[in-house]
Chains A and B, each alone.
Chain A
């Protein structure tokens, strides 16, 4: 019974969510200011001028780097380098990905693999443990509940950067230097994700939990069959954010790994 009810609920949710994302997509590609159309040619001109300038400035560094990646090292060093792509694109990328450049032993391919593993572990780990702890905080009454919540929440105030040295010492005491565990585990705790899931769970109608209880479903059954399917959208959004967070980590991998081979791509660019 609970499987049926949860199925229909998540089905309905899916439809409305698909609808919402479709309108969001349309809204993104269509102008928002449809209601008020004024005839102001100068302002229209200014609008496009500013936007084109903005896009150009924002795209410029990446374009130049792309061009530099298609020519030989000599062409780059001959200042000013030309702004037209050269013929060496494939060679350069093959070399960078497989052999590595300069004095770093590993190719960018290996580094990207490291980055991928760490970012995936961080993103999935964060979502998993935050989902569980938010579920506990919202759906149970137990002594120390608010204390747990605040303990998790306070960590928002302590980014890795402000406590690097002591955290490094903890990792080194636990013999986790140069391991994927040491690289990922300290970054997995997430106040943001817990808070977001808590807010989301609070909007799940009480009737669902009631129905599940009447049908004789235990808390974990309710969690798997109702809460998890309903949280899919939040999980997807969080996954993207946390993946980027994990991928962009720089200081922590720099400190916690020593050999160049274990360095992640972000810190390996230099």
Chain B
């Protein structure tokens, strides 16, 4: 889509885009190219000598069992966050859309975790589940459940998944609610006249018509689980115990800033960039095509 009426000036448009482009080049393209370059180099921790090593960093990365383990952790984590987060929000959205009374109150109470910072979300849930002072941990112990996120990797994973899902529920909820409200009422009424019950109407009409929203949210949730959950992981478990909750982004940070292995950290950054670019392309190809039904 283009404008028919435009202004003419040889220099003004450049002046207008200059601030945006300057920041983009200095803080996006320059670092990204640095990362690319660094990923092909080997540097000692003091920055005295630099050696060009080609693809060795990547080769080392993909034979490193810790990195592969981190890949696996990230995959499990994002699948859990995306599926649990989306199913719970869809369930709540369907019922909130259906409720005849108090629906405004429910909706308002369900959307506010969005305003809670990721770091704070991690702390809140750790506070509940901490084995010594957490109140939920106490209840679980009383119920006979062996619970210790500080020592047990699976418990730690459960903790960060719950915190991450909790923080993202309101976002998913809002989008599902908007999607549900945009479904023409006549379709649902027609199905009801034909004798379809609520469950049947949901599976055969509502869910298929929600698929563009679902797909969009899927990509958003995966990106969220990959990148934005850093704060939750850092505050709740710091990637531990061992490596049980160390997602890829956390490993980039740890290897780069704590272990000072710059070449490997840069190579990991490049791998992450490739993943994001892939996800974005998928998102745009499919959303452009599927959003009009």
Contact = CB atoms under 8 A, between A and B. Distances in A.
A51 B99 CA distance: 9
Contact of A36 (B88, B188, B249): B188
Given A61-B124, A209-B3, A269-B235, A186 B118 contact: no
A163 B273 contact: yes
Contacts of B198: 38, 40, 43
A157 interface: yes
A132 to B, nearest CB: 5
B19 A133 contact: yes
Nearest to A35: B185
Contacts of A145: 13
A267 B119 contact: yes
Interface string A124-157: 0000011011011111111001001001101111
A79 B132 contact: yes
Interface stretch (B28-36, B56-64, B78-86, B144-152): B28-36
A202 B87 CA distance: 36
B26 interface: yes
B231 to A, nearest CB: 4
Contact of B30 (A129, A170, A185, A220): A170
A191 to B, nearest CB: 9
B110 to A, nearest CB: 6
- Name the interface size band of chain B: 35 or more
Contacts of B17: 132-133, 136-137, 148, 152
Contacts of A189: 20, 23-24, 27-28
Interface stretch (A3-11, A12-20, A26-34, A93-101): A26-34
A12 to B, nearest CB: 20
Given A164-B256, A269-B120, A50 B6 contact: no
B211 interface: no
Given A65-B124, A163-B269, A169-B31, A248 B117 contact: yes
B24 A151 contact: yes
Contact of A158 (B25, B32, B228): B32
Interface string A201-224: 010001001100100001110100
A78 to B, nearest CB: 9
Interface stretch (B69-77, B133-141, B212-220): B133-141
A165 interface: yes
Contact of A64 (B25, B115, B127, B132): B127
Interface stretch (A52-60, A84-92, A228-236): A52-60
Interface in B1-22: 1, 3-10, 12-14, 16-17, 19-21
A269 B126 CA distance: 13
A188 B32 CA distance: 17
A61 to B, nearest CB: 4
A140 B7 contact: yes
A29 B104 contact: yes
A175 interface: no
A80 interface: yes
B116 to A, nearest CB: 7
Interface string B203-241: 000000000000000000001000110110011000000
28 contacts: A30-B104, A32-B103, A36-B189, A51-B106, A54-B91, A54-B106, A58-B113, A58-B166, A79-B138, A133-B20, A138-B3, A140-B8, A140-B9, A140-B13, A152-B17, A154-B28, A155-B24, A159-B228, A162-B249, A162-B269, A166-B34, A166-B38, A166-B269, A189-B24, A206-B5, A210-B5, A222-B7, A269-B235
Q: Which 7 A-B pairs have the closest CB atoms?
A: A29-B104, A166-B31, A250-B231, A136-B16, A140-B13, A166-B34, A133-B20
Interface of A: 27-33, 35-38, 40, 43-44, 46-48, 50-51, 54-55, 58-62, 64-65, 68, 76-77, 79-81, 83, 129-130, 132-133, 135-142, 145, 148, 151-152, 154-159, 161-167, 169-170, 185-186, 188-189, 194, 202, 206, 209-210, 213, 218-220, 222, 244, 247-248, 250-251, 254-255, 266-267, 269-270
